[in-house]
Amino acid sequence: MSDQIEKVFLNQRALQRIRLLIHKRLGIHIKEGKESLLRQRLWKLIQSKEFKDLNEICDHIDNEKDSGLLLRLATLISTNHTYFFREKSHFDYLQKHILPTIKLNSNKLRLWSAASSSGEEVYTLCMILAEAMGKKQFFEQVAILGTDISQKVLQKAEYAHYLKENLHQIPPNFRLNYIDPVSNDTFRIKNELKKVCLFRRLNLNMGRYPFKQKFHIIFCRNVFIYFDMATQESICKEFARVSTSDAWLFISQTETLRNLDVPWKYVSPGIYRK
Ligand SMILES: C[S@@+](CC[C@H](N)C(=O)[O-])C[C@H]1O[C@@H](n2cnc3c(N)ncnc32)[C@H](O)[C@@H]1O
């Protein structure tokens, strides 16, 4: 790091203040000694010339009404990396073991991708469900919500255009049915699939979630790593509150709810049931 950066981050009290603020408002715990990524990301904000130092960033977040800077900070410090059919065994499990058991009566099957990033997880779910249920039933009976703290990734998700270099992530039979080529470099998800999806901004660490109808299946993968155990616990309890009595919860296979006091029972790696 250059001398200029060192000077800004020499202020240990300000660094501690911003760590506490990120913990309190976002539930993200940055361990002491592990601040180098945080420093790099904060430096971007300071370089943008909007803020002269860390204290000014904290003051702004403390005083602002629309929490725009807090959300920008969340986007800067968490990674949005995602891809189609990520942890494919989860989708296999969904198709083989969950979908055949679901009885909908007149209700819709409601799924929630709770840290959806740019939409790849949501559209993977669409493809799996449309294929398993048949398009007619899928369009009539499925509703998928994608939420994220970052407005930028949600815009990408709604737009649903992706780089051709990522096309290989989608199995060939799905490519045929659910995507359209756009240009030499890009493809897009077919509009008909997009119709069952809704994207909204939501901070998982917000307290009570504002949903009236219950979810059958919640995907919340590769985001728990950012949260401390207390935050993970309260998020899981909220998931339970907004889901059906026999709902399913998917986290990443590299994450675990072990040691948490939550109303979710382990089924297999990354898969839990209420
Ligand atoms: C690594 S991506 C995971 C995407 C997808 N679920 C997957 O497994 O590929 C993590 C996402 O979590 C989002 N995120 C981080 N903190 C969040 C919070 N407090 N509330 C909601 N989303 C959050 C980030 O913006 C990012 O898009």
Give residue-wise pLDDT tens across range 204-255: 998 899 999 999 999 999 999 888 899 999 999 999 999 999 999 999 998 9
Q: What is the pLDDT of residues 63-92, one digit of tens each?
A: 876 667 887 787 777 778 899 999 999 999
Residues having CB closer than 6 A to ligand 1 are 26, 74-75, 78-82, 86, 115, 117, 121, 148-150, 153, 203-205, 221-223, 226
Check if the beta carbon of residue 227 is closer than 8 Å to that of residue 260: no
pLDDT-above-90 percentage for the chain? 64
Specify the CATH number of the domain 88-273.
3.40.50.150
Return the best residue to mutate from 147, 149, 206, 228 for the ligand 1 pocket (most ligand atoms within 8 A of CB).
149
d(CA 200, CA 198): 7
The pLDDT of residue 155 is 96
Give the domain ranges of the chain.
Answer: 3-77, 88-273
Quickly state the pLDDT bin for 131 (edges 50, 70, 90).
very high
The pLDDT of residue 4 is 65
CA of 199 to the centre of ligand 1 (A): 13
Q: What is the pLDDT of residues 188-207, one digit of tens each?
A: 999 999 999 999 999 999 88
Return the best residue to mutate from 90, 116, 152, 223 for the ligand 1 pocket (most ligand atoms within 8 A of CB).
223
Specify the CATH number of the domain 3-77.
1.10.155
pLDDT-above-70 percentage for the chain? 94
d(CA 262, CA 20): 25
Helices and strands per DSSP (H, E), number in the chain: 12, 10
Provide the mean pLDDT of the chain. 90
Check if the beta carbon of residue 131 is closer than 8 Å to that of residue 177: yes
Residue 173: left (phi > 0), alpha (psi -120 to 50), or beta?
alpha
Quickly state the pLDDT bin for 6 (edges 50, 70, 90).
low
Return the best residue to mutate from 117, 249, 252 for the ligand 1 pocket (most ligand atoms within 8 A of CB).
117
Check if the beta carbon of residue 100 is closer than 8 Å to that of residue 133: no
d(CA 202, CA 168): 30
pTM of the prediction? 0.86
Q: Between 185 and 34, name the one with better pLDDT.
A: 185
